[in-house]
Amino acid sequence: MIGASTSYYGYHGESIENKVKKLIDIFVKCEMKPYIQIGAGKNNIEYNELVNILNDYRDKNEVIYTIHQSIWLPSDDFYINIASSDEQIREKSINCIEKNIEFARDIGVKNISFHGGYATNTLSQKQEFAPLDSQDSISYEEAYNNSIDSLNRLIEIANGDVKLSIENFNFRPERRYLFSRVEDFDRIPDKIGVIMNIGHLYYTKMRLKQEDYITKMIDALTDKVNEIHINDNDGSEDLHKLVGKGDIPIREILKLIKEKRDLPHLIIEAHKQRHSYSDDDLINNILELREIARN
């Protein structure tokens, strides 16, 4: 199934329900069932009101929802880090995802995904789409131990109601990202899946100059993948372009996955404002990705 993320319309600005309605209209024009990922963003209305609106959209339009990161943050400048050694930051991060689990139960979501963390205590972002800045670094071993502890706690909170997945990150040691190499995933709990980001795979392959990196990641993670983020880049940065707007051999990567299993749901995670895209560009891209996935 082909989906799209609300992050197409940015993380801030208008509220989630408005972004969801725009995506519903786009899928209606594509004559496809709406598969919408509620991505990182900001909610501007009361919880119960948002739940009622989203459930009404779901009932009227047969929407399937999924959730990535969280719209439930303690402050606008807070960034989730379940690997932090700062107890307050880690607790707040876990609480953000716990709120996601409650949200998922209330709007009928089966899949929640989020970032596995960073080897630093605090993170900041100066402006939307800018690189994350890390402060107060910690060792990778400590960060991974914190992340696994957090994941086990979240498994208990989810209690089997929803699938939990972490995202494969870019290989960015200067930004202290976790979970970017094959061996990084050896330690995740059995009940934690993966949302595979194609853009991150390609960037990391180019950064490591490792030709077989994507194949090795697919071989290692295929059975764990619950969803796939589809976006494009030129290998120099995580650009979140639409399919076909960069250099990633997306058709070949999806073919490699299909040789091993049925394709998981594919979610376009591009940025409209960052690249001056239009809604028509997204419509065309959804239809293009559908054809790629069929072949």
pLDDT of residue 133: 76
pTM, 2 dp: 0.95
pLDDT of residue 183: 96
CA atoms within 13 A on the CB side of 158: 25
pLDDT of residue 123: 81
pLDDT of residue 166: 98
Q: Which regions of the chain does DSSP assign to beta strands (E)?
A: 2-5, 35-38, 64-68, 111-114, 120-124, 133-137, 163-167, 192-197, 225-230, 265-268
Greatest alpha-carbon span in the chain: 49
pLDDT of residue 185: 96
Averaged pLDDT, 119-143: 83
Residue 250: which pLDDT band, with cuts at 50, 70 and 90? very high
pLDDT of residue 43: 85
- Comparing CA positions, the residue from 170, 33, 190, 192 lying closest to residue 112 is 192
Q: Is residue 186 scored above 80 in pLDDT?
A: yes
Cα separation, 183 vs 161, whole angstroms: 28
Domains and CATH numbers, the chain: 2-294 (3.20.20.150)
Q: Is residue 128 scored above 80 in pLDDT?
A: no
pLDDT of residue 129: 67
Q: Is residue 28 scored above 80 in pLDDT?
A: yes
Specify whether the CB–CB gap between 123 and 81 falls below 8 A.
Answer: yes
**Mean pLDDT for all residues in the chain:** 95
